[in-house]
Chain A
């Protein structure tokens, strides 16, 4: 353990994300306090919810993203909560966490002070990751404390089940945000510039959802049975970090105002520990890949340039970002996918994604030539 962590590195990383950590804690404090207090002390909501089974099963939805179920566009609801703004803010802050930690190490020819310490690159990365995940943990720990505290104030809804569910919900969120953070770290360890990291990273976190779409398409058009499709979909939903954040309701669906869609409901409901194990496994895989690529490739501009010359990587990135745009522009018809491959909007979206990618590649190519010039100097 002593070799894995270096006090100096931890100090540096805490310093680099100090402001963001404070922002995260503040945002969760402000949003959550308003939301939970409003909910607990709103007698109409309470009487409606406590009298139904719905509340018992879904109280943690209610405590966190209940209002998103009624969400229609970017307007504030009756209770003054705008959770979409909240979770978008949290996602952005999480992404910024990874950028802020990589920025100084990658911004110039200058060599980061981290590399002067007698530890290997993997350890440097591990220290970065640990500091951020610890920050995310603290944020949701505070969030959990706020919820538990407010629930304790109202004996009507207080029960052991609620407390356990709140803890489960917090753990799911910690894992989801940690995964988003790790995916962006991973993309940054590979990519040359921030713009590319944002484009590819954002869509990389939607890969499980893309796989779900492919499974649906195969089911609708080819040989996959309904039960097999349902099982696969369920498991991929548990690998999709945004799914955890919005409590199984697609934020993309909210974007389109398609509240009545049933596409996310599946017959199979794995045990909650099972979900967390699955998510944990996914996190470990991404973590190991991140450490590997950081150790192997990063901080060698020329290596990245050679890497970028690899046409397969370009195509893979095009695939990821292209499907990402498909996800964004996806349309449903009565809760079912309307043969998305035939949809002209989707075709336009793919075209748009391709153009965007070519443009960003040009930008990247410019950067490469700049870096080559620097190396020549």
Chain B
């Protein structure tokens, strides 16, 4: 569905996106995770053809986004700041969408409005951020797109609305076979509903793949402290962090060939502890030792 290869983007002398490669399969939900300034929004803008990029290719359903704007017929982008003018009424937005987009389904839009309890005569400027987002989603889903791209939609929502939105996205992917690309800070949400995710940091892809795969790549082991462990640990490759607490030592490490065996030799026995995605990402971004994984 989406194929990005060797994407590079600079602003002045600053590299915003550096050698991004990505494949998103049809019908899947892909999350883009990263710190502020990691390049998430820039990446999405490049995807939508809103920003030019210096090098690389972006194809959506085999359409080159740089040269052909027709990919917007089946692609919807919902930015972090809702882009419907505040002086519009909901009715005006509907008229605009009806005229601007061929596939806009008015009946379905009214169904969604009823579901979200939004009045057609409501002034958009008077709506709260959460309701505006719901309206934007209603308008855009009514276009019956194949690809839905959302830029940090979950950040301004209360827990109930967030859950509602996640359910909508899951039903879009499962029932309507939409492909969804969503950028977020909320890693736990991604863990819950994304099939795969991308970790961006300083414009580079730190990881691209599934949580399950990553879970086996970064592990935490707890073992009994022996006097020479700290010295020998520092000699091992792929150790991200270790903490000594009383008579035990907790080690976070890359699950490379031989690492666990080496620890076993050092301590005799150890216990593996499951890390959640947030912890894994914090270790990855803090340590930045995992470029080899990509």
Chain A residues proximal to chain B, CB less than 8 Å: 6-12, 15-16, 104, 108-113, 115-120, 299-300, 302-303, 305-306, 309, 375-377
Contacts and interface: CB of A to CB of B under 8 A. Distances in A.
Contacts, number: 77
Given A8-B98, A116-B76, A119-B69, 15 more contacts: A6-B99, A11-B96, A12-B85, A15-B87, A15-B88, A109-B81, A113-B96, A116-B100, A117-B101, A118-B70, A120-B69, A299-B50, A303-B52, A377-B36, A377-B37
A11 B79 contact: no
Closest 5 CB pairs of A and B: A8-B100, A7-B99, A302-B11, A118-B72, A110-B81
Most buried by A among B16, B77, B79, B98: B79
A71 B52 CA distance: 53
A110 B224 CA distance: 54
B79 A110 contact: yes
A111 B77 contact: yes
Interface of B: 11-12, 16, 36-37, 45, 48, 50-52, 69-73, 76-77, 79, 81-85, 87-88, 92, 95-101
A6 to B, nearest CB: 6
A302 B83 CA distance: 20
Contacts of A306: 11-12
B126 to A, nearest CB: 18
A192 to B, nearest CB: 14
Nearest to A15: B92
18 contacts: A6-B100, A11-B95, A15-B87, A110-B79, A110-B83, A111-B50, A111-B79, A113-B85, A116-B72, A117-B72, A118-B69, A118-B70, A118-B72, A120-B69, A300-B51, A302-B12, A306-B11, A375-B11
A221 to B, nearest CB: 44
B12 A108 contact: no
B99 A11 contact: yes
Most buried by A among B11, B84, B87: B11
B37 A376 contact: yes
Nearest to A296: B52
Contact of B45 (A6, A15, A111, A305): A111
Given A111-B79, A113-B83, A118 B73 contact: yes
A116 B83 contact: yes
A118 B82 CA distance: 19
Contacts of B11: 302, 305-306, 375
Contacts of A16: 85
Contacts of B51: 300
Most buried by B among A8, A300, A305, A376: A8
Contacts of B96: 8, 11-12, 113
A215 to B, nearest CB: 41
Contacts of B79: 110-111
Given A115-B48, A116-B76, A118-B72, A8 B85 contact: no
A7 B102 CA distance: 10
